[in-house]
Structure 1
Amino acid sequence: MTLSLPRTALSISELDGLDHDGVIRFVRTLEEYGHRMVWIPEVTGREAFTTAALVLSATERVIVGNGVARALERVPKSAGSAARDLAAGYPGRYVLGLGVSGAVRERGVGPLPFLREYLDGVDKVASGVPKVLGAYSAGITRLAAERADGLITFLVTPEHTRWARETIGDLFLSVVQWAVVGRSRAAAREVARDRLAYYLTLPHQLAKLKRLGFTDADLAPPGSDRLLDALVAYGTPDQVREAVRAQYDAGATQVALTLVGPLDDVKLDAYRALAWEEN
């Protein structure tokens, strides 16, 4: 399946901090601003598929992707059945995203063979559902080209995007790009550091960042200025637009912005301003 999705999207992490009614108000606001697609990460708090169902039911046109649902959280049949029902209930508006971390090795299997077998189970019940894989390693990136309709990456530099494009050929490639809008660079770095702290505790994220050329000194909490400046776009909405063009130039089909920082009036203004013409 060839994915035809908006050139720009959002990856919205705010949902973990919102109650049921707050989620509805927030995603309706994003739709009102003109955003056409959101990816929902599964990090803390919210379950992937029930949250996707909530966002789909709360909006009229927004395309929703699990970006990504953690395969270790549920058996393949459960993931596939949930994805099949969402795709059937909201035709053309749902994309299944799946990922797995190195924590799977505690089960005595590596991430690549685990995910390959997992996809076998998903495809038994949801073979026609559009799906993408979250991946950084060469093996799972190639698996996306073999078994999925696209790849989604997170916290990567344009150099990684260029490598991914070379690896997957013409496959759909979404790159999640962090941004801090409306603050000085020094203040923006501190906001981003607060968010990055969690990811600097995860072995698979550290391994990925080391492959991208960052040193132990860069990755030591709270993260070096060099690391922050390579991973985060700063400034006005126009400056953020200009910064993410590097990801398109490197081969991204889509850039999905994550606005880092508290959900306040400044961030809502940024969401309004970043409903890009390309959408």
Structure 2
Amino acid sequence: MNLSLSLPRNALSIAELDELDHDGVVRFVRALERSGHRMVWIPEVNGREAFTTAALVLGATERMIVGNGVARALERVPKSAASAAQDLAAGYPGRYVLGLGVSGAARERGTGPLPFLRDYLDGVDAVIRRRGGPEVPRVLGAYSAGITRLAAERADGLLTFLVTPEHTRWARETIGPDLFLSVVQWAVVGRDRASARDVARRRLAYYLTLPHQLAKLTRLGFTDADLAPPGSDRLVDALVACGTPDQVREALRQQYDAGATQVAVSLVGPLDEAKLDAYRALGEQEN
């Protein structure tokens, strides 16, 4: 692989879609596009299916670039992922990026995450070769050294999530100077630090139950005390930018300085008018 990805320097990661119905998704992503946002990553967490949701967002917008960030490889066979991704890339030229990831749950199938994902990519490639058609740009979601190196070997980029600039610096050193690297950065806009911590902890609670997230954060130097629910102030402050839109942008600059090609902001908290205002303010800074 290693296509040269030319994607916007700024993006969003929109977890809100899990809480919205079909019409709500359409209204939300159209509002983001009107605000000036040019790219969104769609995480696959507890609600929507990755590829049908990508198709919905692509169809609802005119120019928005959409990435699966990331689709869970354990939830579908390579043929399903490859065929869906190739159809999206053909139907929306230049507007779709396939993101794939795997967790330690792969061990329940008798193999580790790294060999599982390597074999999975073999299956994806075989389907694409057999079908012909457009190349599908792809990134891998990764934190471990093995899968991070696999991204440099078998993908066009790397997508990381819930990491500090120190991890971004390590990832850049691991994948080399040229590979695309997007970092999903949590942020709370328009609240003071104490209030921002409360909002962030409600979302963080789920991730503090996941072994692969805990292992990643431990490697980054956080202690058992930091990771004990609901998460220490030190943990939350390191992972979540907060303040005015300008203050959030300043925090994002640390990820760029550490080697990120792109930073994808994920605004934490309920999708209310204040949050929509924050999206609009961040979009205005794109223009």
Q: TM-score, normalised by structure 1?
A: 0.99
Corresponding residue to 1:106 among 89, 105, 108: 108
Contact map agreement 2:35 2:284 (CA 8 A) in 1? no
Give the structure 2 partner of residue 156 of structure 1.
Answer: 163
Query: Relative to 1, partners in 2 of residues 1:115 and 1:276: Cα closer, same or farther, differing over 3 Å?
Result: farther
Task: Write the distance in 2 (CA, Å) between the matches of 1:275 and 1:159.
Answer: 27
Write the distance in 1 (CA, Å) between the matches of 2:195 and 2:209.
23
Equivalent residue in structure 2 for 1:232, among 240, 246, 257 = 240
User: Which amino acid in structure 2 is aligned with residue 86 of structure 1?
Assistant: L
- 2:34 is paired with a residue whose SS is helix
Q: State the partner residue of 1:191.
A: 199
Aligned residue pairs, count: 279
Matched position secondary structure for 1:28? helix
Indicate how the Cα distance of structure 1 residues 276 and 207 shifts in structure 2: closer, same or farther if over 3 A, else same.
farther
Q: Secondary structure at the match of 1:274?
A: helix
Q: Hey, what's the Cα distance between the residues in 2 that align with 1:139 and 1:253?
A: 21
- The alpha-carbon deviation at position 125 of structure 1 amounts to 2.3
CA RMSD after TM alignment? 0.8
What is residue 274 of structure 2 aligned with on the other side?
Answer: 266
Runs of 4+ in 1 over 2 A off after TM superposition: 276-279
Q: Write the deviation string for residues 139-185 of structure 1: whole angstroms up to 9, x where unpaired.
A: 00000000000000000000000000001111000000000011111
Task: Name the amino acid aligned to 1:167.
Answer: T
In the alignment, the residues of structure 2 paired with residue 68 and residue 221 of structure 1 have an alpha-carbon distance, to the nearest angstrom, of 25
CA distance in 2 between counterparts of 1:246 and 1:175 reads 11
Identify the residue that residue 82 of structure 1 maps to in structure 2. 84
In 1, distance between residues paired with 2:151 and 2:259?
A: 16
Query: Is 2:212 the partner of 1:204?
Result: yes
| Structure 2: distance between partners of 1:119 and 1:129 | 12
Residue 6 of structure 2 corresponds to: 4
Identical-pair percentage: 86
Gaps of 5+ in 2: 130-134
Would you say the 8 A contact 1:96–1:131 is kept in 2?
Answer: yes
Specify the SS of the correspondent of 1:44.
Answer: coil
How do 1:60-99 residues align onto structure 2 when only pairs under 5 Å count?
A: 60-99=62-101
* Amino acid in structure 2 at the alignment position of 1:50: T
Q: Look up the SS of the partner of 2:264 in the other structure.
A: strand
Q: What amino acid sits opposite 2:151 in the alignment?
A: A
The yes-or-no answer on 1:58 pairing with 2:44 is no
Equivalent residue letter for 1:177: Q
Is 1:137 equivalent to 2:144 in the alignment? Answer: yes
User: In the alignment, does 2:121 pair up with 1:119?
Assistant: yes
- 2:160 match: secondary structure: strand
Find the counterpart in structure 2 of residue 249 from structure 1.
257
Q: Distance in 1 between matches of 2:55 and 2:185?
A: 24
Matches of 1:196 and 1:276 in 2, distance apart?
A: 28
The letter of the residue matching 2:252 is V
Give yes or no for the alignment of 1:37 onto 2:45.
Answer: no
User: Contact 2:208–2:227 at 8 Å: present in 1 too?
Assistant: yes
Displacement of 1:87: 0.1
Aligned equivalents of 2:33 and 2:252: distance in 1? 22
